[in-house]
Amino acid sequence: MAGARDRADPPMSLPILHHCAGARSFRCLWAAEEAGLEIDLRMLPFPPRVFAPAFKDVNPLGTIPAWEEHGHVITESAAICERIAHGTPLAVTPDEADWLPYLNWMHRSDATLTFPQTLVLRYTRLEPKDRRLPQAAEDYLGFFLGRAKSIERALEDGRAFLVAGRFTMADVTVGYAITLAQSLKIDGELGPLTKAWYARLTERDAFKRAREREGGGTSIPE
């Protein structure tokens, strides 16, 4: 049953998250659950620029996520996660030793680990069959798998999470890259430490709540 924050007319003061199940906007939904931040969740079909054209009135690019707050719209998932983490233990602050590694993971999560997977998705599932490019998909799959080794290396010293000796927003943003890899069925070659770390993330109550709120599935086509 939907909770009070999922009702049709939530308080206007709540930030709005436009989200497609299983898409990179899941980072933001999971982040909000971890932070205990109430949001107005607006579910959309994937891709919204095709199946929900009115969404372009919110984000002219037609991409998700889109986060509306105080008259501003943020469309970068890692930036939304950084906003959610601000002022909470999920953020690593400049006075902490791991602040710079934290920033690097936050940006690596999308630019290096999610982006190549979106090209695999496009050229294996989204494009019409006569426009699919197996070689491009294979190349970008190799790009992702090579860059994902950085997660394995970071965990070799026995740490449970990526930085700062605790669970942080870096685990959320990078963790989504593995969520996407699972949905694309390209996670089999990830290292054992990476898989164990991701298993710890998916056992978190906030992860489970986020999956439940989005319906427990994915809008990404098989």
- If you write DSSP's letter for every residue of 198-219 in order, what string do you get? HHHHHTSHHHHHHHHHTTSS--
Question: Residue 11 pLDDT > 80, yes or no?
Answer: no
Q: Please name the amino acid found at residue 175.
A: G
pTM, full prediction:
0.91
Through-space distance between the first and last CA atoms of the chain, rounded to whole angstroms:
27
- Phi, psi for residue 73 in degrees, rounded to 5: -120, 125
HSE-CB of 107 using CA atoms within 13 angstroms: 5
Distance, in Å, from the CA atom of 27 to the CA atom of 211, rounded to the nearest integer, reads 11
pLDDT per position as a tens digit, 119-178: 999 999 999 999 999 999 999 999 999 999 999 999 999 999 999 999 999 999 999 999
Percent of the chain with pLDDT over 90: 90
What local confidence, expressed as pLDDT, does residue 206 receive?
Answer: 98
Give the strand pairing for 40-43 and 72-74: unpaired
Distance, in Å, from the CA atom of 80 to the CA atom of 65, rounded to the nearest integer, reads 9
pLDDT per position as a tens digit, 47-79: 999 999 999 999 999 999 999 999 999 999 999
Give the pLDDT band (50/70/90) at residue 3: very low
Give the pLDDT band (50/70/90) at residue 4: very low
